[in-house]
Amino acid sequence: MSEQENWKWWVGHDDERFHTECETREEAVYIATEEQEGGHIVEAMKPANIEISRFFDAHLFVESAEDDAAECHGDPEGDILVFDLKPEVRADLEKMVRAAMDAWQEKHSLTFTGFQFAASRNHEYVPAKAESE
C-alpha cells in the first residue's frame, strides 16, 4: 500500500480526538454536518505498523528478573547479583530479543497501529447544517 493510500479522513467533536474514519472528505463533511452538530475533520495517517519490540528494554527485563530470582537464588546479604551482566552483553540480549519479537510479529501477521496519528493535514471545522444555512 502506498503512502498516499494510507491517508484517511477523520471526524471528531473537537480538534483533539477523532472517532470516525472516512474514505473521502465528502463523507467526513456529511457526518459532521448531518450526523453531528458540526465537527472537526482532518486528513490523517496512522502508523503503518508499530513494532512491539521497540518497547522491550533489556535493562528493565534483567532488573525484574533479578528481583524475581533474588528470593530463591540471591545472596542473603544482598551484595551479589544473580544476573550480573556487562553492558555489551545486555545490549546483545536486547538486540536478539527484539529480533525474535519482530519475527514473531511477522509470523502471526500482527499489525498494531495504535490510536494516535503518525501525521495529519487539512484540519478544519465544519459547522452543523442549520448553522451553515
Considering the domain architecture, whether residues 59 and 101 belong to the same structural domain is answered as yes
- Look up the pTM and report it: 0.66
Sequence letter at residue 62:
V
Same domain flag for 28 and 63? no
At 112 the pLDDT is 92
Question: Cβ distance 88 to 10 under 8 Å?
Answer: no
pLDDT in tens, 8-56: 999 999 988 999 999 999 999 999 999 989 999 999 999 888 999 999 9
**Are both 8 and 42 inside the same structural domain?**
yes
- Phi and psi of 48, rounded to 5°? -60, -45
124 and 98 fall within a common domain: no
Q: What are phi and psi of 18, to 5 degrees?
A: -110, 125
Each residue's pLDDT tens digit, 105-114: 999 999 998 8
Both 120 and 98 in one domain: the answer is no
Q: Does 61 lie in the same domain as 103?
A: yes
Number of domains in the chain: 2
* HEC letters along the chain: CCCHHHEEEEEECCCCCCCEEECCHHHHHHHHHHHCCCEEEEEEECCCCCCHHHHCCHHHHHHHHHHHHHHHHCCCCCCCCCCCCCHHHHHHHHHHHHHHHHHHHHHCCCCCCCCCCCEEEEEEEECCHHHHC
Answer yes or no: do 57 and 93 share one domain: yes
Asked whether residue 63 falls in the same domain as residue 97, the answer is yes
Range of the domain at 58: 52-107
Shared-domain flag, residues 37 and 75: no
83 and 95 belong to one structural domain: yes
pLDDT over 70 for what percent of the chain?
93
| pLDDT tens per residue across span 73-86 | 877 777 788 899 99
